[in-house]
């Protein structure tokens, strides 16, 4: 067993089978299959269940993939950095971002980075679960208010205020009828329906609220508020265009802590030139945040 055998195994597993791995690498399917059989013989276990139309990892294969994905990535990163003293950003850069960040700004950022670093090929995924950077083979993750971790290092590159907003007509109606005093303010919330009864505008008095609608994403909350159903707490980044166009008005910043956007990479992996380039790129795009 050698490193090449493990690398071939990881390629077949990542591509879901020998045919896909053959197309991706340009190597014969029979050659890849032979290498995997040799690895299975060396380990004394079956790594793949081979059907007439599909190939899937066995339990032993899944365990092996989980154990080698991170170390293989680290080895290739180290070789890329050290080989011939190479420091120019190059190769594939796998990035995971939150869904809202991906929808709002990642497309523009990715295009600008690709133009600035044509030798780096971006592979971006967008989802709200917390991915395992090491075991899933990611180079970088962007996260909102991440929990401290010994496995990850990075910096805050942007902060975004949370505003209490509504339609202008809704705000006028509330103020004219003094509903904030007479009865709770109808609001839309993200996530499960909350029992919270008070929202605090930073530096001012509290507002009694009545949650009337709970939605799973901030984008959906924004769309609901634009119908005039109620007020909501939304990040400035999401509603900047609505505020500028007058579609929404801000009642003021919420007393909630601002959302912090962090760019993170594995602490146990060498920070390659491509990772350093992307982190510096974000600092340049968001120059007014210290982190």
- Give, in order, the Cα–Cα distances in Å from 169 to each of 38, 172, 211, 237: 71, 5, 19, 22
pTM: 0.60
Q: How confident is the model at residue 83 (pLDDT cuts 50, 70, 90)?
A: low
The pLDDT tens digits of the residues spanning 141-159 come to 999 888 888 788 999 998 8
Q: Is the pLDDT of residue 3 over 90?
A: no
The pLDDT tens digits of the residues spanning 20-37 come to 888 877 888 888 888 888
What average pLDDT does the segment 226-245 reach? 91
CA distance 172 to 151: 50
Nearest Cα to 286, choosing from 161, 159, 162? 159
CA distance 94 to 140: 6
- Output the pLDDT for position 238: 87
């Amino acid at each position: 067993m050698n490193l090449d055998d493990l690398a071939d195994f990881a390629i077949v597993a990542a591509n879901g089978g020998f045919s896909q791995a053959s197309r991706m690498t340009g190597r014969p399917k029979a050659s890849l299959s032979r290498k995997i059989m040799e690895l299975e013989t060396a380990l004394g276990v079956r790594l793949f269940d081979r059907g007439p139309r599909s190939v899937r990892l066995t339990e032993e294969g899944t365990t092996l993939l989980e154990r080698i994905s991170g170390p293989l990535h680290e080895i290739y990163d180290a070789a890329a950095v050290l080989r011939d003293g190479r420091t120019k950003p190059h190769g594939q850069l796998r990035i995971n971002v939150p869904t809202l960040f991906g929808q709002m700004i990642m497309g523009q950022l990715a295009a600008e980075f690709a133009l600035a670093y044509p030798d780096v090929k971006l592979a971006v995924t967008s989802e709200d679960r917390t991915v395992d950077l090491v075991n899933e083979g990611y180079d970088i993750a962007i996260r909102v208010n991440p929990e401290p971790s010994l496995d990850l290092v990075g910096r805050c590159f942007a902060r975004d205020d949370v505003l209490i907003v509504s339609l202008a007509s809704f705000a006028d109606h509330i103020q004219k009828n003094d509903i904030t005093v007479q009865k709770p303010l109808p609001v839309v919330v993200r996530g499960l329906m909350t029992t919270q009864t008070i929202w605090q505008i930073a530096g001012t008095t509290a507002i009694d609220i009545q949650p009337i609608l709970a939605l799973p994403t901030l984008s959906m909350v924004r769309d609901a508020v634009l119908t005039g159903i109620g007020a909501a707490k939304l990040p400035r980044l999401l509603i900047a265009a609505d505020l500028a166009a007058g579609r929404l008005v801000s009642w003021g910043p919420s007393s909630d802590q601002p959302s912090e956007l962090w760019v993170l990479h594995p602490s146990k992996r060498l920070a390659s030139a491509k990772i350093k380039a992307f982190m510096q790129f974000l600092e340049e795009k968001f120059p007014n945040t210290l982190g």
